Structure formats: C-alpha cells, structure tokens
A and B are shown apart, each in its own frame.
Chain A
Amino acid sequence: KAGVTQTPRYLIKTRGQQVTLSCSPISGHRSVSWYQQTPGQGLQFLFEYFSETQRNKGNFPGRFSGRQFSNSRSEMNVSTLELGDSALYLCASSLEFSGYGYTFGSGTRLTVV
C-alpha cells in the first residue's frame, strides 16, 4: 500500500513569508504527527492530530500551526518565516493516537533565505 506522502519535497522561501506543507497519511491511519529535523536540534515534535483535533503540541512558537481534514490529510503552516526554520519537516501517521508504530514520510526540505 502507499506510504505517507509529503508535498512538496523541496521548498525555498524568503524570510518573512509563510509556507504550507501537506501530508497524506497511509490509508486507514487516523493520526498524523509532525516533526522538525535539524542537524543541531535533531528530531523535535511539533504536534499531533487525531480525528481533526490537535491532541498534543510541542514547544514551538505560535507561528507553527497545523490542521487535519476529515480524510485524515494534514497540513502544517509556518508564518513569518525565520532563517532558523530551515529544516526537514517530517510527517508520520499511525492507526491510533498513541505514538505507536509511526510510519514517516520522506519529508519536505524547507530552506529559508
């Protein structure tokens, strides 16, 4: 079956702009989580959505937001981009809201210039 699909794969944005990233989970998976991966901070949890509701949130500023649609697809948005937001953004899906058995997508590489 198809895996977790993230679009776009690469993105270059200018400081101050906003960006929206998309994630389509594995069919039947209802939980979607987002992680930021950087060389300095590693993998850090952004937020998790289950049944269109944000169930948990990491320690990121309010510029980072997300949502989940009724078909479980999810988007995350970053407003007023900063150079430090350059990272690989990873989406993961699982059957239930638990952190158990996550399957990750290949990520969106965001570069802020």
Chain B
Amino acid sequence: GENVEQHPSTLSVQEGDSAVIKCTYSDSASNYFPWYKQELGKGPQLIIDIRSNVGEKKDQRIAVTLNKTAKHFSLHITETQPEDSAVYFCAASDQAGGTSYGKLTFGQGTILTVHP
C-alpha cells in the first residue's frame, strides 16, 4: 500500500519568513495530493491540493509543488503569520480506480509555529 513520509515534524519560523514542508510517497499510482491544516480542537481543513498532471499550484501565500519522478511534493507558505501556526498534513490518493481509490494516506504531520 501507499506510504507517505513527511518532514520536518516540527518547524519554527519568525513572522514574515517562509516555511517549507516536504513529503514523499511510495505508490506511483497516487495522483492526487492534498494538504490539510489542523488547528487545536478542530478537524483537518483542506488548504490546497494538486493533481499529478500539474507541477505547481498557488493560492495567495500558499503553493504546492509536485515532482512525480522523484515522488515528492512540498508545501510552501510565504510571509508567514501567527495564525498560520497549526499542524499541517500532506496526503496522497489514487483516484484512478486502484485499490487505494477513495482513500487518503496521510503523512505524520508538521507542527508549524510562527513567532510574532
């Protein structure tokens, strides 16, 4: 089955700096890669996603890049703000109808702390 590794496990930055979180996946059939943000006491919130036919996607201060050959994808947050502090999860899914269809495999999470 799919295995997703996420690094780093904790990340501390100053307000205004950039933050980068990286994930690698094992199953070449995976073709959908969402990122979720989880705040204390809440469920994960989808913040951005990318499909395997796209190399990069941006949404304001957030961007995701995908390297299918190397099987890794990254989340980039620019101009970080204290409200960006949360746990971030990457995930992978096969949406082409394989055995992992409809199932998200998550990374272990990154605790991001943005210091004012």
**Is B73 among interface residues, defined by CB-CB distance under 8 A?**
no
With an 8 Å Cβ cutoff, the count of chain A residues facing the other chain is: 26
Question: Would you call A90 and B44 a contact (CB within 8 A)?
Answer: yes
Question: Would you call A43 and B44 a contact (CB within 8 A)?
Answer: yes
Question: Would you call A33 and B102 a contact (CB within 8 A)?
Answer: yes
A45-B104, A45-B105, A56-B102 in contact; A99/B45 too (CB < 8 A)?
no
A42-B106, A56-B101 in contact; A98/B42 too (CB < 8 A)?
no
| A72-113 interface with B by 8 A CB criterion | 90, 92, 97-107
Per the bound structure, the CA–CA distance linking A1 and B91 in Å amounts to 26
Residue of B nearest to A59 (CB): B1
Complex contacts, A98 vs chain B, CB 8 Å = 32, 93, 95, 101-102
Question: Would you call A48 and B43 a contact (CB within 8 A)?
Answer: no
Question: Would you call A106 and B102 a contact (CB within 8 A)?
Answer: no
**Distance (whole angstroms) from the CB of A99 to the closest CB of chain B:** 4
**Is A16 among interface residues, defined by CB-CB distance under 8 A?**
no
Q: What 1/0 flags go to B28-44 for Cβ under 8 Å of A? A: 00001010100001111
Question: Would you call B32 and A104 a contact (CB within 8 A)?
Answer: no
| B89-107 interface with A by 8 A CB criterion | 89, 91, 93, 95, 100-107
Question: Would you call A106 and B43 a contact (CB within 8 A)?
Answer: yes
Question: Would you call A58 and B46 a contact (CB within 8 A)?
Answer: no
Question: Would you call A56 and B103 a contact (CB within 8 A)?
Answer: yes
**Is A31 among interface residues, defined by CB-CB distance under 8 A?**
yes
Question: Would you call A99 and B108 a contact (CB within 8 A)?
Answer: no
| B63-116 interface with A by 8 A CB criterion | 89, 91, 93, 95, 100-109
**Is A63 among interface residues, defined by CB-CB distance under 8 A?**
no
Complex contacts, B91 vs chain A, CB 8 Å = 43
Known contacts A42-B107, A90-B43, A101-B34; 4 additional CB pairs below 8 A are: A99-B103, A100-B95, A102-B46, A106-B42
Question: Would you call A4 and B43 a contact (CB within 8 A)?
Answer: yes
Q: What 1/0 flags go to B1-37 for Cβ under 8 Å of A? A: 0000000000000000000000000000000101010
